[in-house]
Amino acid sequence: MKQYIKTGPLCLLALLLPGQPARAQFLKGLDNKARKAAERTVERRVEREVSEKTDEALDKALQGQKNANSETPAGQDLPQNRQVADKNSSDSATGNGPNQNTDFEPGSRVLVAENFEQDAIGDFPAHWNTDAAAKVVTLPGTEGKWLELSTPGTFLLETVKQLPEHFTLEFDLFVPSTFSYYDYPLWIGLARMQNKKDFFIWGRYKEKRGKDKRNGVLLMLHPQEEDGKKLGYSEYEVWENGEKAASNKIKSLTAFNVNHNRVRVQIWRQKQRLRVYLNGAKIWDLPRAFGADENLNTLLFSRYEAKEGHWFHISNIRLASSGEDVRSKILKEGRYSTNAIQFNTGSAAIKPESEPVIKEIADILEENPALNLKITGHTDTDGKKDSNLLLSRQRAAAVKNELVQKYGIAARRLDTDGKGDTEPVADNTTAEGKAENRRVELVKM
């Protein structure tokens, strides 16, 4: 298997480009701009074909190894035991709305929140760095502001100083319905960098200089398969000391494509394990994506060029630490505070991604019949104080109603209250502080 991976792409390249004289004659007749575009198209087609053939070989080799010895874990021949994900995991990534049966659990303590509210339309955002260009825009039919990635390059969110061993990362991703298979995909990087000035080394088609410093994981998303299929696809790459240690591809993603062109991307790290979701549907589950003591400190996005208007947009970025034991917090400490129960802006409507946390609370209540809880809502300082107080009470009542109506918890076991913006736990002048202050507290009675 290792020998195929090393030599297979070269053989495939020879097959894909059988007529070098004809190709040279064709390119000679083009001007410089057209010639470069043609060469990029050929290079990209070669890369895709190489990746697909390599995936097929890996699948056959790993399946043969599994059949020969059922006790041998699939993927053991990959460096550092990096295991490929079960491709069937993409089967659940269906529909345009959030998956109500997701096992994704948002982190409970917000570390970074970015919705570009502090940035002017048309400007490059204040908390970012790039070797290219981008701007903050609004999109028809959507709320808030978006970062439009319209040029080839790498985009670094500088407010991310550390990615803990246990964290969740969420953001909204949007592409126009005109997006084509021939438009370049978006790459998301979770990286370890010694010097963040070197973020350009994560650019997909950058020169090789500096790639020996790559350490981390790259995740790719594209909303359009070849042959005009209205389906998306995804890849991942694991990098160790400048070497690609593992990679794989999945196709036929229906949760993100040119018809369903807006998606909530959710990434969950639990030490070495990495899970990726689209609208709550799991598409990747990699048990050894990261080293045992891998220290990540960088979040970046990267893309190559695209046609006018065929651009990626990102917004509502939420990075939060996870791994808190809810059961221990409630039963032993008697208090649990969380930002993972999320609501629509200015509303008491609970977002679908909050469901796993609420279910866990319901399970604890069901298993402990003598347990009673007081649910208290808190807001940030945006808006008027009276409105915030009312909203916080309504949100606490919404959580109680969910526990009673959906999970059958007796209403008499739950009390509610709201404090509005009167008890902040963080600075209300920053997006991160506001996100921390928008919380729900549960106290044992």
Q: What pLDDT shows up at residue 58? A: 42
pLDDT surpasses 70 at 7: no
The model's pLDDT over 145-159, given as tens digits with 9 standing for 90+, comes to 999 998 899 999 999
Give dist(CA 216, CA 399) in Å, integer: 38
Q: What pLDDT shows up at residue 99? A: 61
Model confidence band, residue 50 (pLDDT cutoffs 50, 70, 90):
very low
Question: Are residues 312 and 186 part of one domain?
Answer: yes
Question: Are residues 382 and 304 part of one domain?
Answer: no
> Is 240 within a domain?
yes
First CA to last CA across the chain, in angstroms? 61
* Burial class of residue 289, CB neighbours in 10 A (0-12, 13-18, 19+): buried
Last-in-domain residue among 26, 41, 68:
68
Mean pLDDT of 413-420: 96
Q: Which residues pair with 30 in a beta bridge?
A: none
> Is 169 within a domain?
yes
Q: Return the higher-pLDDT residue of 92 and 226.
A: 226
Question: Are residues 284 and 150 part of one domain?
Answer: yes
Q: What burial letters (b/e) apply to 102-139, b meaning 16+ CB within 10 Å?
A: bebbbbbbbbbbbbbeebeeeebbebbbbebebbbbee
pLDDT surpasses 90 at 171: yes
Domain count, the chain: 3
CATH number at residue 188: 2.60.120.200
The model's pLDDT over 308-353, given as tens digits with 9 standing for 90+, comes to 889 999 999 999 988 777 888 899 899 999 988 989 989 999 988 8
Question: Are residues 430 and 296 part of one domain?
Answer: no
Q: What pLDDT shows up at residue 375? A: 97
Full residue range of the structural domain in which residue 351 is found: 326-444
pLDDT surpasses 70 at 170: yes
Last-in-domain residue among 42, 68, 94:
68
Question: Are residues 112 and 255 part of one domain?
Answer: yes
> Is 73 within a domain?
no
DSSP secondary structure, 304-369, as one string? ----TT--EEEEEEEEEE----HHHIIIIISEEEES-S-B-TTS-PBPGGGHHHHHHHHHHHHH-T
pLDDT surpasses 60 at 192: yes
> How many CB atoms neighbour CB 26 within 10 A?
12
* Burial class of residue 101, CB neighbours in 10 A (0-12, 13-18, 19+): exposed
Q: What pLDDT shows up at residue 16? A: 45
Mean pLDDT of 14-20: 46
Give dist(CA 31, CA 220) in Å, integer: 32
CB 298 within 8 A of CB 196: yes
Q: What pLDDT shows up at residue 211? A: 64
CB 436 within 8 A of CB 426: yes
The mean of the pLDDT values for the chain is: 81
pLDDT surpasses 90 at 79: no
The DSSP symbol for 163 reads: B
Last-in-domain residue among 297, 321, 345:
321
Q: Which residues pair with 304 in a beta bridge?
A: none
Mean pLDDT of 57-74: 40
> Is 256 within a domain?
yes
> Is 341 within a domain?
yes
> Is 74 within a domain?
no
Q: What pLDDT shows up at residue 86? A: 39
> Is 30 within a domain?
yes
Sign of CA dihedral 73, 77, 81, 82: negative
pTM, entire model: 0.67
Question: Are residues 335 and 310 part of one domain?
Answer: no
Model confidence band, residue 354 (pLDDT cutoffs 50, 70, 90):
confident
